[in-house]
Amino acid sequence: MSRPNAQSMKPATAAKKLDVYLPATPAEFQANAITRAELEALQADPPQWLKDLRKNGPHPKNLVAAKLGISIAALARNEVGDALTTEEINQILEDKPEWLATERESYQEVLREERRLKALRADKARES
C-alpha cells in the first residue's frame, strides 16, 4: 500500500467503504493508507481475503444489523457484539430470540414513520 497523501484514506475509512470489519483485515491493510486507485482496484477485483471476509465475516455492526433487520442501537441494547460472523448471524436468525422479533417490529415502525414524514414533507413542498 502507499504513503498518506491528499488522495489516500485511513484504513478504517477504506474498510468502511468496503463494508468489512477492520480488525479482521490483513495487517498490511490495517497499517497503511489506501489510495483511491487502490480502493477502486479492491472493489473491482477483490483479493481472496476480501471475498472471504464479505462471505463469512466477521461483519461490521452496520451489516450485522441489516442482516438481522434491526437497528445498530438494537444490537447494543441486546448486548450483541460489534462484529459477528455469517454463521453467528444465521444462528440468531435460526434461534429467533424474542428480542429479535421485538426489535424488528420496532425498527419497522420507525421506518414506516420516516416514510410517512417524508411523504408529508413532499406534499407540503408541492403545495408551496
* Residue 87 sits in the same domain as residue 126: yes
62 plus 112 within the same structural domain: yes
Query: Between the CA atoms of 94, 72, 117 and 113, what dihedral angle is there, to the nearest 10 degrees?
Result: 40
Q: Are residues 61 and 114 located together in one domain of the fold?
A: yes
In this structure, are 38 and 84 located in the same domain? no
pLDDT of residue 98: 95
CA distances from 72 to 2, 3, 51, 63, 103 (A): 33, 33, 24, 9, 10
Do 93 and 115 share a domain, yes or no?
yes
Q: Which domain covers residue 89, as residue numbers?
A: 57-128
pLDDT of 71 above 50: yes
Predicted TM-score (pTM) of this structure: 0.78
Residues 87 and 115 in one domain: yes
Q: Mark whether 66 and 124 lie in a shared domain.
A: yes
Q: Are residues 65 and 119 in the same domain?
A: yes
Number of domains in the chain: 2
Confidence of residue 128 (pLDDT cuts 50, 70, 90): confident
Helix (H, G, I), strand (E, B) or coil at 19: coil
Q: What is the pLDDT of residue 5?
A: 53
Shared domain check, 66 and 112: yes
SS3 39: helix
- What mean pLDDT comes out for the span 30-44? 93
